[in-house]
Structure 1
């Protein structure tokens, strides 16, 4: 298979986006215009040419230690190989081999759940190189009229409690209150780079994406909010935040449920974009969402002293976080 490395400037956007929109693995993250918003720079490994691409693999890049390295960007949970048909494990292996050959440092690269059957098994993971991690997101596959009926008993109870709390649900186009909520109540404990907020603003400004921003309010004050993006019948729970009042009143449970009830006829899939945190995964699973695998790889072939300096930097960073961790 002739897999070519193609710089961003040489990618035919029309051909690329046509393949993504018709691919079995199609997702918002992989469109050229989305990658342009969330990546410092990106390239691709492709099969095909002037008559059209048959297989493509986006490669997101970030400047680090004076080198361009492969790095999964914010608000782009997974990528992988895209084609109009299902992709066999040996094809994935060839693309991974090409990526390792062309890029000496892969900080992180996450493969779509659509590759899960091929990669999540022990045999599939043996096809990969470097460090391999298994993570999950949660997908709610939507059948019209089914939203809410399959929630866990605990989630239904919390939803009833939220309905009694007196929340006012407000649609908005202003994401600033949501970002400020997140900065105040979430960012101090997890650490967030300022460029994450910049990426989020660029995504919301995209004309090609349907964006839904909703707030839960009491007496005119915002206590929780969610931001969801939609493309091709696929909704992604991209960003959310809540203060203590919002958490106590199950505001995000109500916001998610209202969104699903209102939009289920237009959706095939709701992706919770789950982080690898057990309590959050359990919350998303309570909406009847299923855990689907994401395979993440990393690999470092850079020459000394860069790998050693990176290890020292990581050790210093984590020690610093442990010293200043909030009580």
Structure 2
């Protein structure tokens, strides 16, 4: 009832339809998203005639296939419609356990409904379906202070254009971690989402029209994902990032949307996201091979 299909033999229309109809859709699982990250180095476990799917990205080491969670792809797992059987989910999980797995992240819904084996990791989300006033009331006092302080400055926000080159120049200039990641791949996934009209780049400018900070927000059905952000550290701009995030939340509230901060294992970042009254949701990361 569950079979493994290579990327080359995948029925793309059926796969995409299954994903779109799933209760736990993630843009990370789109075929074009995975193709951009890993090429055709992914298989898929398919239940019956694409009633449920589980994409499995891999790398090859010395001819051995290792399941590995790609960069810029927080959650995968089993994608299915409502009233999905726990027994069938466990069959998917057993198939995964028989493979060599460096890392594989199940999505939040899989984790909450079926408790797969693995380490729980933190994501943080904010339901922004309420009015902005209700959302703002639940921000921390410090977050409100940052937003109010910057509201008196001559700051301007623009989301009408893209400047990917400036973004990556700033990333390399101001952030040491940029030396540890594949920037060309990151740029490629951003450009792919721009081509598909799947993301927005927000800019915050000072009164001299100098960019203070910028954020990429990725659309994923009923959630918008804070994919990446940078700040111009040559400019003193305390609280300006809070001002920009506040604008993005205000710009998208009153809709059936979840704002996905993508979480962090760093306590300071967790605390910052918590200051927006975000909710902790766990996703499970499984591995059986170092």
- Give the TM-score taking structure 1 as reference length: 0.79
Is 1:24–1:82's contact at 8 Å kept on the other side of the alignment? yes
Runs of 4+ in 1 over 6 A off after TM superposition: none
Aligned twin of 1:270: 259
Is 1:116–1:292's contact at 8 Å kept on the other side of the alignment? no
Deviation at 1:113, TM superposition (A): 0.7
Is 1:78–1:294's contact at 8 Å kept on the other side of the alignment? yes
Q: Which moved more, 1:139-148 or 1:5-14?
A: 139-148
Aligned twin of 1:76: 73
In structure 2, which of residues 259, 271, 277 is the aligned counterpart of residue 288 of structure 1? 277
Work out whether 1:35 is the aligned partner of 2:34.
yes
In structure 2, which of residues 54, 76, 80 is the aligned counterpart of residue 57 of structure 1? 54
Is 1:226–1:252's contact at 8 Å kept on the other side of the alignment? no
Q: 1:157-183, CA deviations, whole angstroms, 9 ceiling, x for partnerless residues?
A: 111122234322222222221222111
* Larger RCO (alpha carbons 8 Å, 6+ apart): 2
CA RMSD of aligned residues (A): 2.2
C-alpha change, 1:222 and 1:86, in structure 2 (3 Å) is: farther
**Secondary structure in structure 1 of the residue aligned to 2:213:** strand
In structure 2, which of residues 133, 149, 157 is the aligned counterpart of residue 169 of structure 1? 157
In structure 2, which of residues 127, 133, 136 is the aligned counterpart of residue 141 of structure 1? 127
Is 1:235–1:267's contact at 8 Å kept on the other side of the alignment? no
Aligned twin of 2:46: 46
C-alpha change, 1:36 and 1:270, in structure 2 (3 Å) is: same
How many residue pairs match? The answer is 285
Aligned twin of 2:89: 92
- Distance of 1:296 and 1:254 partners within structure 2: 33
Q: 1:269-294, CA deviations, whole angstroms, 9 ceiling, x for partnerless residues?
A: 11111221111111111112101001
Please give the residue correspondences for 1:19-30 in structure 2 after superposition, counting only pairs within 5 Å: 19-30=18-29
- Give the TM-score taking structure 2 as reference length: 0.89
C-alpha change, 1:294 and 1:145, in structure 2 (3 Å) is: same
**Secondary structure in structure 2 of the residue aligned to 1:24:** coil
- Distance of 2:187 and 2:59 partners within structure 1: 15
Is 2:171–2:178's contact at 8 Å kept on the other side of the alignment? no
C-alpha change, 1:242 and 1:56, in structure 2 (3 Å) is: same
Mind listing any 5+ residue stretches in structure 2 that lack a counterpart?
none
Work out whether 1:111 is the aligned partner of 2:110.
no
Is 1:45–1:57's contact at 8 Å kept on the other side of the alignment? yes
Please give the residue correspondences for 1:1-12 in structure 2 after superposition, counting only pairs within 5 Å: 2-12=1-11
Q: 1:272-317, CA deviations, whole angstroms, 9 ceiling, x for partnerless residues?
A: 11221111111111112101001101112xxxxxx6xxxxxxxxxx
- Distance of 1:33 and 1:177 partners within structure 2: 25
**Secondary structure in structure 2 of the residue aligned to 1:98:** helix
- Distance of 2:2 and 2:67 partners within structure 1: 17
Mind listing any 5+ residue stretches in structure 1 that lack a counterpart?
301-306, 308-327
Aligned twin of 1:319: none
C-alpha change, 1:247 and 1:116, in structure 2 (3 Å) is: farther
C-alpha change, 1:230 and 1:189, in structure 2 (3 Å) is: closer
In structure 1, which of residues 252, 255, 262 is the aligned counterpart of residue 241 of structure 2? 252
- Distance of 2:106 and 2:237 partners within structure 1: 36
Is 1:107–1:299's contact at 8 Å kept on the other side of the alignment? yes
Aligned twin of 2:17: 18
C-alpha change, 1:202 and 1:6, in structure 2 (3 Å) is: farther
